[in-house]
Structure 1
Amino acid sequence: MVESHRRMTDKVKEVLDIDGIPVMLGGDHSITFANVRAFAKKYKNIGMIHIDTHADCAPQGLCGFKYDHGAHIRRIMELGCLKGKNYTLIGPRGYWPGPDLYKWMADQDFQWFTMLDVEELGIDRIAKEAADRANDNVDAVYISWDIDTFDPAYAPGTGEPEPNGLTSREGMRLMRLLSSSFDPDKFAFDLVEVAPNYDVSDGNSYSGGITSGLANRLIVELLAGLSLTKKGETEGRPVRPKSYRGTGNTYSFGKPKAQIPKRN
């Protein structure tokens, strides 16, 4: 694994050296450390949004291995490129982590929104706060999205499924909000833990299963948002019916502004 991580770091660095936008697909969530390690070679201070069922900041990982998929956030903090005030976790639920690890996270000034918070506060408000924290006096932003954040009804093809996750509609809106919130030239993204062989849907269909289909759409939405931002635009141009009764596209945080509920 250490050698694999070294190769990943080298490859991401190659993309950054030609001013590309790294978009990585996994695979085990431990790859995020390898990817961010390359990112940190170019950018001294980064913001990070981590969308995941689990906190992934165990001191020695879930399997006792320092660089496993349950420890990558801890390893990234040790690189010195990420301050707690610039980090947000969205979607934790289930049995891990416990109080001790959450206490460590609080001591680092981490912010997190459990699925109960998602229900209470809504996607728009959470996305806005996460983006604000990630953009606060940093050189670049990294987003890491674990597919297990989704409820298994929408993404069964993953190694750590946990009930009461995001719906695909909530996830798509979150992606649309975040994709237009950062400088595309100082940005990287990974989507991890997609495991088609665990998918209970038809893996022989044109989509390769519902988990792979959802992962594909997330990447398309990300690239669309980044493209709009690079063109200096804040929203797309959907074709509306003459009698359209909706409120328009409110996905961006630029002008025109998204309709974000006021904070108490």
Structure 2
Amino acid sequence: MNEYPYPMLEPPVMIYPKTTDKSADLKVHEWIENAGSSSLDWEKYDVTILGVPLSKSSISTSAASDNPEAMRQVWKSFSTYNLEEDIDLAQLKVMDLGNVRQHATDISLTHQKTKEAMEAMRIHHPHTLPVVLGGDHSITAMLVKGLKQSHPDESIGILQLDTHFDLRDTNEFGPANGTPIRNLLESGTIQGKNVHNIGLHGFFNARELKDYADEQGVHYTTMKQARKKGMTQVVEEALNQLSRSVDTIYLTVDMDVLDITHNPAAPAATPGGMYTHELFEMVQQAGEHPKVKAMDIVCLDPRKDIQSIGVKSAVHVMLSFLTGVCKRKGR
């Protein structure tokens, strides 16, 4: 496909110069290509990046709308080479498609465009793996609905790394950042038994949400349980169970899953959460699984960040996931 197939998107704003020296160590901003920069052979790409800068749908005050561009800005701080795995991500061809167009006041219209964007990604180049930079967690419901719309006969499961259930009542809150999983359950897009949430902890979820999760058959593992059992084993068991039940696994990473000391930039940052090295290992593990076919990174407010701790952690999450994708492909 030689034409830009996304009328609902704004092409990327940040266009970095690319090095012509193939022997040089690449930085991430030199590696990721830009959809608006030249005529493209879409068939050659492995990964497509999409920004959804929406935070008007957040229950709490949030500038998560700034996050996609904030992540792109710190790409310069990262190399494509992962020392710990001895893997160079530059073997993957990655395309930044830009951002979903935002309406100034109409959240439902932006949600619709987000759904259409994911549907278009799966129709125009279904061989690529979508990586979405949010935005608040409300976008996950729209992205998964777009995925389902493009493949109506395929069943979808969710691996959710999160401090919260995100099962608040849609009648009260609407399609907000506290309701995406319930939105998907109530719309029939997914089944409760095909949701695995890892990272719940502390005093940040109401009992009624736990009761609703139990009624729907949602699987969940608290931080205390995961650490006792072992993070790797918990993720492995979740992926194995999902892979037996669904055709596609969608990974959603709410950055508030991190402990507040590891990520002060999450609007709902809390103590007692996950550590960065635990999160990086878990998303890499998910990236290795052949049924994980899309992922998002949501709920990060750069305006609350300190020395880019949160934003750099989010980029590390993205790159850790792509490290897993490289290992999946045997590269």
Cα pair 1:15 1:21 within 8 Å, conserved = no
Instruction: Find the counterpart in structure 2 of residue 249 from structure 1.
Output: none
Q: Are the structure 2 counterparts of residues 136 and 83 from structure 1 closer, same or farther at C-alpha, using a change threshold of 3 Å?
A: farther
Aligned residue identity for 2:289: S
Choose from 23, 41, 59 the match for 2:169.
59
- The answer to whether structure 1 residue 2 and structure 2 residue 108 are counterparts is yes
Cα pair 1:172 1:221 within 8 Å, conserved = yes
- Alpha-carbon deviations, 1:228-263, whole Å to 9, x = none? 32x3x2xx7xxxxxxxxxxxxxxxxxxxxxxxxxxx
Rounded to whole Å, the distance in 1 between the matches of 2:232 and 2:280 is: 12
Aligned residue identity for 1:99: R
Percent identical: 26
Rounded to whole Å, the distance in 2 between the matches of 1:28 and 1:77 is: 19
Cα pair 2:157 2:195 within 8 Å, conserved = yes
- TM-score normalized with structure 1 length: 0.79
Instruction: Find the counterpart in structure 1 of residue 142 from structure 2.
Output: 34
Q: Are the structure 2 counterparts of residues 67 and 80 from structure 1 closer, same or farther at C-alpha, using a change threshold of 3 Å?
A: same
Rounded to whole Å, the distance in 2 between the matches of 1:32 and 1:94 is: 24
- Alpha-carbon deviations, 1:95-148, whole Å to 9, x = none? 332222211111211111111112211101111111012212312110111001
Higher strand proportion: 2
Residue 58 (structure 1) shift? 1.0
Instruction: Find the counterpart in structure 1 of residue 267 from structure 2.
Output: 159
Residue 6 (structure 1) shift? 0.4
Q: Structure 2 regions of 5+ residues with no counterpart?
A: 1-106
2:296 match: secondary structure: strand
Instruction: Find the counterpart in structure 2 of residue 11 from structure 1.
Output: 117
2:193 match: secondary structure: strand
- TM-score normalized with structure 2 length: 0.64
Choose from 256, 270, 277 the match for 1:169.
277
Rounded to whole Å, the distance in 1 between the matches of 2:244 and 2:263 is: 32
Say how many residue pairs are matched. 221
Cα pair 2:198 2:222 within 8 Å, conserved = yes
2:237 match: secondary structure: helix
Instruction: Find the counterpart in structure 1 of residue 157 from structure 2.
Output: 47
RMSD, aligned CA: 1.5
Aligned residue identity for 1:171: L
2:170 match: secondary structure: coil
